[in-house]
Structures are given as structure tokens and as C-alpha cells.
């Protein structure tokens, strides 16, 4: 009997201690005496108040009708007048819409209370712990006026032709043409932001090794590395379809770069679905990886608006140029060249121009979100 009492007491203490770390939005509002607003019989709280509760007033942004909050390495995003919130890759319904009234963004308390109930409060760390963890601290945010360099990377080139379509279209040529068009589009759109510079890893059909691409990104101190590719399935399936964007699960800033392990040097394939890969993902929540994921999300969102092909989503992969570049970096696959219909579309200069501008708009979304350029 005594043993049972001790076990029950243990689980009670464990439960109480675990629950104390969860965010209770209603309790926070009540204890902090935060004002709420009744709209159509629904209680709302301001976004500013929520940011204070989460202690992340400097970790949010807005692009048009989209709101993004970065909390403890995770992204919370939603739209004005929308009734859905995306958190940790899952879509949650909040029943009542997010509203904006006289410039104030208001959030339904019930909906956000349910979402925040599954989030643990940030743990506080001592100043000594902060000093020892300096290598994981986010880099200084670059504001408007500071030089910011974007490196656009057309994949493959020269002797490395990449994928080849059934009608002979070469990936290296598609990548270069779209990258050049994207660079021109960005330069036009950034005329009023001369502090933002556009560079490219290649301007013509030349071979540039993956090591040299990474070195260039480091040498010019790029703020963003943006790599453009076209896809192909291993068995060249003609029905392969869709677009996807990769970002790295981890970053390694090494002085001497080891050469890629395979011929193309694209993937360090550890088996994405393996237990080891999942552990690595959990351990690699660095600020640069988070920034890369945010940029990848912007790219996928814009491509989904423009293309009629399936959205294959953002994916973590330790691709060479993503893993060894110390800045936010993504690699987007715009379509499958092994699909004859996609190949014919990618031969069309109007389609290439549309894709280039779409990628440019996604990058502009990120620059606005980060305050590099004005809205």
C-alpha cells in the first residue's frame, strides 16, 4: 500500500511540474491584466500583447496579409482574415478569423489558447550559459542601409550538364537562363535599395565546383545563397511532377572543405527517414537553419501561387552547397525534366521568365520580412 501511494505521488508531482511549463494564454491575459476586445461575441487579444507574452517582440514579421512569428526555433504563421494557423508544419483551425482593425492585428483568444497549450515556455538561461553558447546565437540582423549580398547559384554548368530531358533539354541551360532572368528582375525591383547587391556563381556555361560555390559565398560574405535547379527522378519516370525546395538540417562552417562524396556532389544521403536523420534534425535547430527554412517557405508559397504542378513542399536535406554555406541557403527544384510535358514548358522563354519573377518575388518577400528592404 505504501509503495502505491509513493508512485501516485510521483506521477502527480511529475504532471504538475510538466504542466507548469505550458503556455496558458487565458491565465497570462488575466495575470498580466492584458486588455481583450469582444468582436461578434468572440474575445480577441492584440498581436502585440501575444508577442509580449511569448517574449518574442523582435522575432516576427509581416508580408502583405501574412504574419510570421518565430518562437523558440519554431515558426507560427497565419493570414489576416484567415481561420488557420500553421505551427510546426501542422495546420490548426482557430474557428474565428484573425482581424485587423485600425492597424491593430487582433487574434481570437480561444483559437490561439488551444494552439499555445501545446507549447512549452522558453527556459531561462544564465549569462554564463549564454556566453558558452555564443556559436549558436543568431547573427546581427542587417537593417535597411547596410550592404546585403545575394548570391544566385545556377546549378551545374560546363562539363556537369545535370539532368537531360527526353527531347534533349539540359538542366544546366535551364538553370542558367532562369537565374539570369531572376537576377535582372531583382536588380529592377531593388533600384531603390542600392545597398542590396546581386552576385552569381556563374554567368555563362562554365563548370564551377561545389567547393568553389561555397567559397565564393563565404568570400563575398553573402547574406543569402539561392540555388536554382531542375529535377529528375532516379528511374526517369515520365509522370514525375512537382516543385520542391531544400534547406539544410545542419550547418558546418569548416576552413577546409571536404570534396563531395558522389559524382554530382549533391546529396549526403543518410537516409532521411532513418532514426539517425530524425535525431540530427532535432539537434540542428540553429538560427541559420531556421532562416533557411523561412526562405524555403516563401519560395514554395510563391511557386504554388504561380505553377499548376504539385507542391512537394519544403524538405530538409544536407546538400553540399546548403550544409557548408554559413548563411541562409536554399536549393529549389522547379520541375522534373524527365517529364516530357514539363520539359516542353521549360523550353518556353515566357515560362522561364514567369518562374524567374516568381522566385524573385519570394526572395523579396524574405527581404521585406527581415527588414532588409521596405515593404
Torsion angle in degrees (nearest 10) through CA of 248, 265, 243, 59: 20
- Tell me the Ramachandran region of residue 250: left when phi exceeds 0, alpha when psi lies from -120 to 50, beta otherwise: beta
Q: For the chain, what are the domain ranges?
A: 22-116, 140-369
- Identify the three-state secondary structure at position 226: strand
CATH of the structural domain 22-116, one choice from 3.40.50.300, 3.30.457.10, 3.50.50.60, 3.40.50.2300: 3.30.457.10
Choice between 326 and 33, residue whose per-residue pLDDT is larger: 326
Q: Which of 12-26, 129-143, 225-239, 344-358 has the highest mean pLDDT?
A: 344-358
Which residues on adjacent β-strands are paired with residue 86?
77, 91
> Quick check: 233 and 240 in contact, CB under 8 A?
yes
Residue 65: what pLDDT? Answer: 82
Q: pLDDT class for 141, splitting at 50, 70, 90?
A: very low
Give 256-288 pLDDT, tens digit per residue. Answer: 444 454 434 443 343 444 444 444 444 444 478
Give 312-370 pLDDT, tens digit per residue. Answer: 999 999 899 999 999 999 999 999 999 999 999 999 999 999 999 999 999 999 999 98
Q: Is pLDDT of 207 > 80?
A: yes
- CA 293 from chain centre, in angstroms, equals 2
Domain 140-369 has CATH 3.40.47.10: no
Give 214-253 pLDDT, tens digit per residue. Answer: 999 999 999 999 999 999 888 888 988 999 999 987 776 5
CB burial of residue 164 (10 Å; 0-12, 13-18, 19+): middle
Q: What's the pTM?
A: 0.61
Q: Give the separation between CA 101 and CA 99, rounded to whole angstroms.
A: 6
Neighbouring residues of 364: CB distance < 8 A, sequence distance ≥ 6? 186, 189, 373
Give 59-105 pLDDT, tens digit per residue. Answer: 777 777 888 888 777 788 899 999 999 887 788 899 899 998 877 89
- Per DSSP bridges, beta strands 60-63 and 90-93 are unpaired
Residue 176: what pLDDT? Answer: 96
Helix (H) or strand (E) holding 116: helix 109-116
Choice between 66 and 10, residue whose per-residue pLDDT is larger: 66
Amino acid at each position: 500500500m505504501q509503495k502505491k501511494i509513493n508512485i501516485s505521488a510521483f506521477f502527480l508531482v511529475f504532471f504538475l511540474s510538466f504542466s507548469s511549463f505550458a503556455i496558458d494564454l487565458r491565465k497570462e491575459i488575466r495575470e498580466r491584466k492584458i486588455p481583450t476586445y469582444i468582436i461578434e461575441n468572440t474575445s480577441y487579444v492584440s498581436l502585440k500583447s501575444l508577442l509580449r507574452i511569448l517574449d518574442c517582440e523582435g522575432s516576427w514579421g509581416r508580408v502583405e496579409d501574412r504574419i510570421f512569428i518565430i518562437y523558440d526555433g519554431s515558426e507560427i504563421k497565419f493570414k489576416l482574415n484567415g481561420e488557420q494557423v500553421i505551427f510546426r508544419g501542422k495546420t490548426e483551425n482557430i474557428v474565428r478569423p484573425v482581424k485587423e482593425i485600425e492597424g491593430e492585428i487582433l487574434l481570437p483568444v480561444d483559437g490561439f489558447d488551444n494552439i499555445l497549450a501545446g507549447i512549452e515556455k522558453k527556459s531561462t538561461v544564465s549569462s554564463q550559459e549564454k556566453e558558452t553558447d555564443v556559436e549558436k546565437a543568431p547573427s546581427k540582423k542587417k537593417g535597411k542601409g547596410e550592404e546585403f549580398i545575394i548570391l544566385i547559384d545556377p546549378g551545374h554548368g560546363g562539363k556537369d550538364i545535370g539532368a537531360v530531358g527526353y527531347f534533349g533539354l539540359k538542366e544546366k541551360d535551364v538553370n542558367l537562363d532562369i537565374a539570369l532572368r531572376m537576377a535582372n528582375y531583382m536588380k529592377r525591383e531593388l533600384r531603390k535599395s542600392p545597398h542590396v547587391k546581386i552576385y552569381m556563381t556563374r554567368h555563362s556555361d562554365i563548370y564551377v565546383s561545389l567547393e568553389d560555390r561555397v567559397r565564393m559565398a563565404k568570400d563575398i560574405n553573402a547574406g543569402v545563397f539561392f540555388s536554382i535547379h531542375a529535377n529528375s527522378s532516379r528511374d526517369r519516370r515520365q509522370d514525375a511532377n512537382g516543385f520542391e525546395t531544400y534547406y539544410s538540417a545542419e550547418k558546418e562552417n569548416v576552413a577546409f572543405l571536404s570534396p563531395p562524396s558522389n559524382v554530382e556532389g549533391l546529396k549526403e544521403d543518410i537516409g532521411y527517414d532513418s532514426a539517425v536523420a530524425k535525431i540530427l534534425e532535432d539537434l540542428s535547430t540553429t538560427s541559420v537553419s531556421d532562416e533557411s527554412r523561412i526562405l524555403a517557405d516563401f519560395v514554395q508559397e510563391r511557386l504554388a501561387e504561380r505553377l499548376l504542378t504539385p507542391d512537394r513542399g519544403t524538405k530538409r536535406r544536407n546538400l553540399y552547397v546548403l550544409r557548408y554555406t554559413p548563411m541562409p541557403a536554399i536549393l529549389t527544384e522547379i520541375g522534373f525534366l524527365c517529364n516530357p510535358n514539363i520539359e516542353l514548358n521549360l523550353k518556353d522563354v515566357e515560362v522561364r521568365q514567369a518562374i524567374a519573377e516568381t522566385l524573385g518575388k519570394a526572395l523579396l518577400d524574405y527581404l521585406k520580412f527581415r527588414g532588409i528592404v521596405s515593404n
